[in-house]
């Protein structure tokens, strides 16, 4: 049987340590092709390039792997791979990462790593975003490799429900071994932003966003709890953002007749 075709992308850029680790793991599972940003694109979310040029060129950074770097966002990279680089070939799996830093809880909305995976899911391809909760450029990925391989094998063999991408987060390397995998929900948490007012050398004002991550969730079934307790968190995410539970409430509670009368 032919090897599965695996598309690899990320948001930290094609030269990051995390994507090199991911490529090495994926090479053991199938035929790998890489399309990734030519520079860091963290926090881009599901942005796409519309008003600017998109550039794409081959890269020889990986051994025995066809790779391209793009001037675009992570989502641009997946789109270029699907519709231009691979043309008529459909990948069997899209993997994004391994991100340098956490993508738990609300961060999934801002994450370029996860947006690349979600774009794969939109195209009907089983997709996974991998992140390590360590922001260091020289982060230690040695404890996550086997889990990346195991989770990817499970997806290749069993699939993922349509419209779903997996958000996988790993704790940083600690003295104790990882305890295992927890299938979780997204924690109820958010970033509490603070905008620092600064001035450039020409005296012009600018702002630098800072802040702290605040976790309001006391449950033990969410991704933040899993990471804090040295488990790998796996959260199934969907791109259908309809709040289905709110439809009946709005239909029943809003006074539509008064609204019509005032039109």
* 37 three-state secondary structure: strand
> What are the φ/ψ torsions at residue 31 (nearest 5 degrees)?
-85, 125
Binding residues: 11-12, 42, 99
C-alpha–C-alpha distance, residues 52 and 68, integer Å: 19
Binding residues for a divalent metal cation: 11-12, 42, 99
C-alpha–C-alpha distance, residues 127 and 113, integer Å: 11
Locate 260 and state its tokens. 């019509």
In sequence order, the 6+-apart residues with CB closer than 8 A to the CB of 160 are 121, 126, 127, 166, 236
What does the angle CA 252 – CA 256 – CA 261 come to, to the nearest 5 degrees?
A: 160
Q: How many residues does the chain have?
A: 263
Locate 22 and state its tokens. 């991911």
């Amino acid at each position: 049987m032919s090897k599965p075709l695996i598309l690899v992308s990320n948001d930290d850029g094609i030269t990051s340590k995390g994507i090199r680790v991911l490529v090495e793991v994926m090479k053991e599972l199938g035929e790998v092709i890489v399309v990734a940003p030519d520079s860091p694109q963290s926090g881009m979310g599901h942005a796409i390039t519309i008003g600017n040029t998109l550039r794409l060129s081959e890269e020889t950074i990986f051994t025995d792997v066809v790779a391209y770097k793009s001037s675009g966002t992570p989502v641009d990279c997946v789109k270029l791979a699907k519709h231009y680089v691979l043309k008529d070939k459909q990948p069997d799996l899209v993997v994004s990462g391994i991100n340098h830093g956490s993508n738990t809880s609300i961060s999934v909305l801002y994450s370029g790593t996860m947006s690349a995976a979600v774009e794969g899911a939109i195209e009907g391809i089983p997709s996974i975003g991998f992140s390590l909760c360590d922001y260091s450029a020289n982060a230690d990925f040695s404890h996550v490799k086997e889990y990346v391989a195991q989770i990817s094998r499970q997806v290749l063999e069993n699939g993922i429900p349509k419209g779903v991408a997996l958000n996988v987060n790993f704790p940083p390397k600690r003295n104790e071994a990882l305890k295992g995998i927890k299938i979780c929900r997204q924690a109820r948490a958010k970033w509490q932003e603070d905008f620092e007012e600064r001035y450039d050398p020409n005296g012009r004002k600018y702002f630098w966003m800072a802040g702290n991550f605040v976790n309001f969730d006391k449950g033990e079934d969410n991704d933040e709890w899993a990471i804090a307790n040295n488990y790998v968190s796996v959260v199934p995410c969907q791109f259908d953002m309809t709040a289905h539970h709110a439809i009946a409430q709005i239909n029943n509670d809003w006074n539509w007749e008064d609204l019509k009368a005032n039109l």
